[in-house]
Structure 1
Amino acid sequence: MPGVPERIDGLLALLKGVGRLEEPVEQALRAVPRHDFIPALALVPDEEGLRAVNRDADPDGWWETVYADVSIVTQLDDGATAFSAVGSGGVVRLPAGVDYTSSASAPSTVVGLLNLLDAEPGHRVLEVGTGTGWTAALLSRLVGDGGLVVSVEIDPAVAEQAAKNLTAAGHDRVRLVVGDGTGGHPEDGPYDRVHVTCGVRTVPQEWVEQTRPGGVIVLPYVPGFGTGHELRLIVTPDGFAHGRFSGFASYMMMRSQRTPAGVLSYTRDHQATTTEVDPRAIGHAPAGADLAVAARTGLYSRTLIWDDAYRLWVYEPGTCHAAAVTWTEGRRDIEVRQYGDRPVWDEVVDAYFQWVGWGQPGRGRFGMTVAPDGQRVWLDEPSRTIG
């Protein structure tokens, strides 16, 4: 069986093959082995659902998974459902209503945000979302293990295990705080860097206020429509933060910003119509289109795919305003079922074709300004606000 150094070398070679790997981040990955932060029993998402990995029952499979570029689920249902309740081997089918709520992010995802953060020795860092503690340890390696990293975790059980992981790995100078990271942690600010490891739809102004002018905030922006996006913001002396979107980002949502329960049900009254717009054109559109539609409408989306059909849901969370648009192989008509009195499908179509009319700008041409009175998405420059 390959040793740890060989496994780390293999992971680094893989990461270099899929994107850039800055030298300081590479050295941190070598110094902070991922396996020190992965539990003996965990779950891995794959094409069939979730696959259990068990270090005791299948050590080779566990080690291979730990040093693969995959996310590893470490908690279910905010801790209410134990892994033992869903099995300890093979493909796992989660009971209805149970979801995964904490994980060790895929290494490529971790590297993407750390590259953007550009943390240097001596920087004071606020991390929002401790998780297993791996990224907190990596940050500590990047800035110096002198108590410069403050990591806030909302879940006490997750924080307790992270503390054990960090202590065992020799990074006990990281300051762990149990609480809601939405408000940051002003007691130890101001910070040079803010590193967010959970999906965010609305950037809290507190993070801007607790960052020095010239400081950097990196986060996964997950507006709810389509894909998620890496966002790097720079704070200015006037209390604003400006930045652009770069790559793809996939993270579990911050608990305080989880999607409220939407009404997606065929049992409610609806209006049945048809459309000439194939929902796959919007559901499979590039990231720039997702940003434009999200900013223009504020709506959410989800997709359902069968062998011969594709359905795009667009909806306003917490309300009955929704539309189900279904393409079916062999049928000329594309069915629209509209719920509520807000024409959400029409709004999405209008926003999508506005993006087309702009010349189909890619993700990198979009940015965000976070101000005391809210956040705004813009195209090319902050003065060109689109939502």
Structure 2
Amino acid sequence: MTTDTAPAWAVVFEQVPRAGFIPDTIWVDDPDGPGFTAVSRRTDPSAWEAAVAANAPVITQINLGEPATENGEDFPSSSSSQPSIVADMLDALDPRPGERVLEIGTGTGWNAALLAHRVGPSGQVTTIEVDPALAETARQALTAAGVAAEAVTGDGAAGWPAGAPFDRIIATASVREIVPPAWLAQLRPGGRLVTPWGTDYGNGALLTLDLDADGIASGRFSGNLAFMRLRSHQRSLFGWEPDDDTVAAAEVAATDVRGKDLDMMLNPEKGRFAIGARLPNVALVVEWDAHGPGRHVLELDDLITRSYARLDADVTDPAPFTVRQLGPRRLWDEALAAYDWWHEHAKPGPDRLGLAITDDAQTLFLDTPETVVRTWP
């Protein structure tokens, strides 16, 4: 297996193979319908080996450990991340021999083994997993591989104060908008934190923060990542949606947004990250071809205020798209304002955004800390 990126980690990847940390049963997209189908190392070793050797994520748990559903309404709840992304994240973390590292989200234990190999016998890796069954399986895999990392069970959002301070902290699960204060409290001055960061509007990016001697953490975003959330940062899996009668009574209007605008608003490689960062507590669901080819439905909702917007976009028809909005917030209007802001600021991608954190606030900024995009108290 090759990682294609972060060549400094290529040798470590060869010395710590992923296969030793993947359970005998994994999950892949069901080719015959929705949901997932199991692939067993015992009954289909070639398919299992091909999935594990690929530069792709491997789903190792669905439905929080519950059995697959009959209707295919399954969801992934733990995975081994794409190796090239693992390498990029470890490269951003830049752990050194002898350092103390905390990993949030043990998963299979493979990432902890890679870290332990890098920090060496004079360093220490502690990895924390919220799911007791996953934590125990990872402990067994680490022991079998002869890795001395300490695997503990607990809520990763709280960090691991018993082992603090740490030189490096890395999360293998995404945070939603706010970096847990406990992580920075457990990071030594001069230390580094790396975590996926995102909003409910769309995919996230990798955030790399450095903590200075004054207790201020600051850093930048990079890339386009889709990671499972910290369980305490997860939204309702299916969000909130008003019933048909409520939608029928919503305010109806036309919008001059066209298909090319939707592409820029929804494409993770274009405006989706920055636009989402401007929309507090707004979740996005897109049903492509919901009513036939080119006839899409975009829904925005805010669980807190019970505000909702739906855009019916027929890109095959020159007629204006229809928007329905209800609740105290006009979410489509807010999305358009964020889209205009993105255009006015030369279409920034994640690499132009950063985050600064003090004891009092977390502030998202554009280009420099003086250009504030949004602040969380």
Q: Which residue of 2 aligns with 1:181?
A: 156
Give the deviation of 1:288 after TM superposition. 6.1
In 2, Cα distance between equivalents of 1:70 and 1:287: 19
In 1, Cα distance between equivalents of 2:320 and 2:119: 58
| 8 Å CA contact retained: 1:377, 1:386 | yes
Q: Find the partner of 1:95 among 72, 77, 80.
A: 72
1:1-387 mapped onto 2 (5 Å cutoff): 11-12=1-2, 15-16=3-4, 20-23=5-8, 25-45=9-29, 50-79=36-65, 81-82=66-67, 85=68, 95-96=72-73, 98-145=74-121, 148-171=124-147, 173-201=148-176, 202-260=178-236, 262-267=239-244, 268=246, 269-278=249-258, 280-287=262-269, 289-298=271-280, 299-306=282-289, 307-331=293-317, 332-387=319-374
For 1:327-354, what per-residue CA distance to the aligned partner results, in whole angstroms no more than 9, with x for missing partners?
1143312011213131110011011111
**% of aligned pairs identical?**
36
| 8 Å CA contact retained: 1:45, 1:71 | no
Q: Name the SS for the 1:227 alignment partner.
A: strand
**Once structures 1 and 2 are overlaid, which stretch shifts more, 66-75 or 50-59?**
50-59
For 1:76-118, what per-residue CA distance to the aligned partner results, in whole angstroms no more than 9, with x for missing partners?
2212x23xx56xxxxxx7633x322111111122112111101
| 8 Å CA contact retained: 2:274, 2:349 | no
| 8 Å CA contact retained: 1:129, 1:197 | yes
How well do the aligned residues superpose, as a CA RMSD in angstroms?
2.0
Q: Name the SS for the 1:222 alignment partner.
A: strand
TM, length-normalised to structure 2: 0.90
| 8 Å CA contact retained: 1:151, 1:176 | yes
In 2, Cα distance between equivalents of 1:94 and 1:205: 40
For structure 2, which runs of at least 5 residues remain unmatched after alignment? none
| 8 Å CA contact retained: 2:295, 2:316 | no
Q: Name the SS for the 2:287 alignment partner.
A: strand
- Aligned residue pairs total 360
Give the deviation of 1:262 after TM superposition. 3.0
Q: Cα 1:367–1:320, aligned 2, differ >3 Å: closer, same or farther?
A: same
In 2, Cα distance between equivalents of 1:238 and 1:271: 50
Q: Name the SS for the 2:91 alignment partner.
A: helix
Q: Name the SS for the 2:85 alignment partner.
A: helix
For structure 1, which runs of at least 5 residues remain unmatched after alignment? 1-10, 87-92
**Once structures 1 and 2 are overlaid, which stretch shifts more, 146-155 or 278-287?**
278-287
TM, length-normalised to structure 1: 0.88
Q: Name the SS for the 1:113 alignment partner.
A: helix
| 8 Å CA contact retained: 2:208, 2:220 | yes
